[in-house]
Each structure stands twice: as structure tokens, then as C-alpha cells.
Amino acid sequence: MRGSVDGLGSSMPIALMLPAVFADDDLAQRFVAGLDEVIAPIPNVLDCLPAYFDPALAPLDFTAWLAGWVGAETDGTEPEPLLRAAVAAAAHLHRIRGTVRGLAETVRLAFGVAPEITESGAAAWSAAPLGPVPGEPRPRLHVRLALPSPTAADTVRLESIVATARPAHMPYTVEITTADLSAERTIDR
């Protein structure tokens, strides 16, 4: 948390800014020295302000606040490296939101594991008119994630992330399996 730091000196002592008549006044010097201790964190934070907006350098609690500010897909339970990576990637992920690449990157940043994504869309070209339409007639999206020790909370979190980052018109399913692929849980939406 930001706040006072015991013994932190001011980079701009108020005593040096007082008129000359107060230079020898002991009461005035002690009074402004007390104010220096209270005000000292403010210039220090302002001097370091660019670092507060860099997820790699910002204090952890400020990085968590910054995650909400930039719309990063976090829930507050991720380890520090994943939180910092999600905040750093948030603007890029907003640009590619609704794409397979954007969904895969959002899931990878949330869980630290790349998902397997299958979807019904496709693209093709043909020199002849009236060629076959690529893809499947019904839209679908399936996200499969293999975690070392999945929990029910992981399934809920994956479902929430997919619901937010997928194309709006796509029905989806999510599946979480153990890394050895022996136990499976599936949710259809």
C-alpha cells in the first residue's frame, strides 16, 4: 500500500523554501520538518510515476488495480508473473479479441497453459465460381485445457474467460482435463 515511510527524507525540504526571516526560527524549522515527513512520499511517487504504469515495475497491489483499469482478464488468484503478463498484454488482447489467437492468448495468460481450440469457421478461395463453402454450417467453438491438477474453480474460470473473449455469436464448450488426460470435465453452453 502507498503511504508514509518512516525516515523517508524529502527531496524538496520546505525549510529551504521559507523566507529568510524564518531561517533562524527554531519553531518554524521544526514545524516544517514535521510537514516534510508527511509530504515526502508525494514527490517520491511523482518522481517515479512512469514506473507505476509499467506492469513489470509497479508495486504488486498497484498492478492488481491496474489490471482492472486496463480490462485485463484476471480474478485476483493468479501468481504475480501471470498477473503482470496479463496487464502488460491487455491492450494487445483487446485488439485481437474474438479471434482464435486472442482467445488462446487470454486463456494462456490466465492459466499459464496453452489451450487446444477447435472451431467451425474456415477460409478458402477458388478460381471457379460457386465452389464449396468452407467450414461447417453451424457455428461452434470448443476449448480444451490440460492442467496438472484441475479443480472445479478452474472450470468455472475457463468458462468465464471463454464467454468473455469468444466471438459473441459462437456457442461454445469448455473441457478441462488433467495433464495425463485421464479425468475429464465438460461444460456445454
What is the spatial distance between Cα 24 and Cα 20, in angstroms, rounded to a whole number?
8
What is the spatial distance between Cα 153 and Cα 138, in angstroms, rounded to a whole number?
30
Mean pLDDT over 120-147 rounds to 86
Give me the pLDDT at residue 89, please: 92
- The three cell numbers locating residue 171: 456457442
Per-residue pLDDT of 35-93, as tens digits, reads: 888 888 888 888 888 998 999 999 899 999 999 999 888 888 888 998 999 999 999 99
Prediction pTM value: 0.65
Give me the pLDDT at residue 116, please: 95
Residue 107's φ and ψ, nearest 5 degrees, are -65, -40
The residues that bridge with 173 in the sheet, in sequence order, are 142, 188
Sign of CA dihedral 144, 148, 150, 155: negative
- Report DSSP state, residue 35: H
Hey, how many other C-beta atoms are within 10 angstroms of the C-beta on 183? 9
Looking at the predicted structure, is the pLDDT value of residue 181 above 80? Answer: no
Give me the pLDDT at residue 5, please: 66
Looking at the predicted structure, is the pLDDT value of residue 25 above 80? Answer: yes
Give me the pLDDT at residue 182, please: 46
The helix/strand/coil state of 157 is helix
- Model confidence at 183, pLDDT cuts 50, 70, 90, reads very low
Looking at the predicted structure, is the pLDDT value of residue 187 above 70? Answer: no
DSSP string spanning 106-156? HHHHHHSS--EEEES------SSTT-PPPS-SS--EEEEEEESS--HHHHH
Task: List the chain domain ranges.
Answer: 14-47, 111-124+136-189
